Structure formats: structure tokens, C-alpha cells
Copies of this chain bind each other. A is one copy, B any other.
Amino acid sequence: MGWTKKHIISIKDFSREEIDFVLRKSSEMEKKLNSGRASSLMRGRILATLFFEPSTRTRMSFETAMKRLGGKTVGFPFSEISSEAKGETIADTVRVVEGYADVIVIRHPVEGSARLASEYVDIPLINGGDGANQHPTQTLLDLYTIKKKFGKIDGLDIAIVGDLKYGRTVHSLTNALANYDVKLRFISPQELKMPRHMVKDLEGNKIPVKETRKLNLDDADVIYATRIQKERFPDPQEYERVKGAYVIDLKTIEGLKKSAILMHPLPRVGEISPKVDGTKFAHYFEQSKNGIPVRMALLCLVCGVKF
């Protein structure tokens, strides 16, 4: 994989070696960031953030990454898209923006839109989330968080909890973990189980998979919790009953391995009790913060900036 001018569309485009390379470079970047030596790597360059749906967190994280590198950003926030521009094709929009910027990050509600957009531009384009499909930089920061804590990914027992059927984050992460020698545990209500084809693919890759409805976290090294969304349930009472069964609280963590970590892509809406925040298990704010060096590293890689 030549990195310069590479589009970052899907974690499935990455081999294990490529993922490991990004994680290693992210670690180097974090050292540079903390020592203040990253602040002019992207001087004079511009990142365009094209967000066709509101996204506070991903946009801020990318903007912060670019600014920590001494670069600048120009925005295209959702609410400011004029009605005329709303009628424009993505192909036209990104070709116009190519005239302004050196690298693009795009979020769009339609699956496949990032791939489509990337076919029209010569500058690198990063997928910041396309519908229910992919969000590769989220996955890379998730993996980075795990690697930073345990020094490795191989050998870990990883539990993924919550909405495994619709969760974009969860699908990308699972795709990536299939490259490693891990044990996976999928914990969800019956209605929100991991899609069959994904489980089969894992089994084809010789990844041991356990699926349960009960929130059993014994022996897990990583617990990755996600939101269970009300709109997935026809019956609101059913939602309330189900949701309650997957809340991680002070009682839940009593049974955890001493070295286990709790992760969450955030925002959370009750899946992890705030009482857990002060414990050594809580890693979700650290995880969010890890997005900065990971995105800094990626931005430099695709722009051909050595570091």
C-alpha cells in the first residue's frame, strides 16, 4: 500500500500489516504530539471537512488533529449547506473542494458515498462515516487503544456488547479484529445479534466466537459497549427491559479481570453507569482522546508528510 494520496474508505481495504503500520505510526505521532514536535508537520496545508450530516465528535476530532499538526481546516457543516448546493451531486462537490484543499474528510448518510466521492478526486479522501457502512478511523483508534493498553492485540479476549446488528462501529471493529488471533464474545439481545455472514466469516478465519444474551464478562480483556437505540424496537416496553439488561455498573465490574478495560465509542446514553468513570476500568475518554494521534498519523501518511 502506497500511503501518499491513498483514500481511506474502509477498514476492509487494510491488511494486518497495514493496520499494524498505522498503529505504530500513531504511537510515534503521540510521542511527537506530547513533546510539541508535531506542530508544524502540516503547516500550509488545508483539510476540508465535508459533513452531510451533523457529527460533533468526528468533525472536532479531525479538526483538532489537523490543527495540532499546524494545518488549517475549511468547513462544510451540515446546517450551512445551501439549498442549491443540496441539489448538487457528491461528484461535483468534491471536485470543487479539491480546488481548495489538500485532503478531504467526508461524512455522508448514504452507504458507499465515500468510495464514490473518492473516485472523482486526486487528493486523498478519508471516510468519516458513510451511513451504516464504514468508519475506518474509529476502528483504528479503537485498535490503537487496545494495543496501547496491552502492548498487543493477539491473544486477547474481547467482548462486544449491545446493538451488534446495526452498529457501524462494531462491524468495522469486527472486520479488523478478524486479522488477529483473538477470542470474540458477542453479547446482545436476540433482536440485535451480529449478522450471520459476519459470524461465518470469523469462523472461516478460525476466530473462536461465542454469542450470548447474558452479560457475562468473565475473563474478558476488553469490553466494548455500544448504544442500544430505541428506534430498533417496535415496543417501547421491550426496549426498556432489554436495555436494562446490558448496563455496566459498579456491580458488573466487580467480576472483571483486574486488567480489563471498558471501551465505548461515545456518546453513551446509559450503557455504562457514570459511577464506573472513576474506576481503573474506564477507558472510553482515553479512547476518544486517542483519536487525535491516530488521525494525525493518517493525515500525514496520506499527504505524504514524513514523520
Q: Which residues of A contact B (CB under 8 A)?
A: 36, 39, 43-44, 46, 48, 51, 53-57, 59-61, 63-64, 67-68, 70, 72, 74-85, 87-89, 91-93, 95-101, 227, 266-269, 274, 285-286, 288-289, 291-292
- A93 proximity list for chain B (CB < 8 A): 267
Asked if A54 and B82 sit within 8 Å, CB to CB, the answer is yes
Q: How far is the CB of A65 from chain B (nearest CB, A)?
A: 9
Asked if A82 and B56 sit within 8 Å, CB to CB, the answer is yes
Asked if A96 and B288 sit within 8 Å, CB to CB, the answer is yes
Asked if A100 and B36 sit within 8 Å, CB to CB, the answer is no
- A43 proximity list for chain B (CB < 8 A): 39
- A55 proximity list for chain B (CB < 8 A): 80, 82
Closest to A59 in B: B80
Q: Which of B68, B97, B99 contacts A46 (CB 8 A)?
A: B68
Q: How far is the CB of A64 from chain B (nearest CB, A)?
A: 4
Closest to A53 in B: B82
Q: How far is the CA of A59 from the CA of B91 in the complex (A)?
A: 20
Q: How far is the CA of A14 from the CA of B120 in the complex (A)?
A: 37
Q: Which of A56, A85, A227 has the most CB of B within 10 A?
A: A56
Q: Which of B74, B288, B289 contacts A64 (CB 8 A)?
A: B74
Q: Given the interface contacts A63-B74, A92-B266, A92-B268, does A285 sit within 8 Å of B80 by beta carbon?
A: no
- A96 proximity list for chain B (CB < 8 A): 57, 266, 285, 288
Extra contacts besides A57-B82, A93-B267 (15): CB < 8 Å: A48-B60, A51-B80, A54-B81, A54-B83, A56-B80, A56-B82, A60-B74, A67-B74, A77-B77, A77-B80, A88-B266, A92-B266, A99-B289, A99-B291, A100-B292
- A82 proximity list for chain B (CB < 8 A): 53-57
Asked if A85 and B68 sit within 8 Å, CB to CB, the answer is no
- A288 proximity list for chain B (CB < 8 A): 96, 99
- A269 proximity list for chain B (CB < 8 A): 84, 87-88
Q: Given the interface contacts A56-B85, A64-B101, does A92 sit within 8 Å of B39 by beta carbon?
A: no
- A59 proximity list for chain B (CB < 8 A): 80
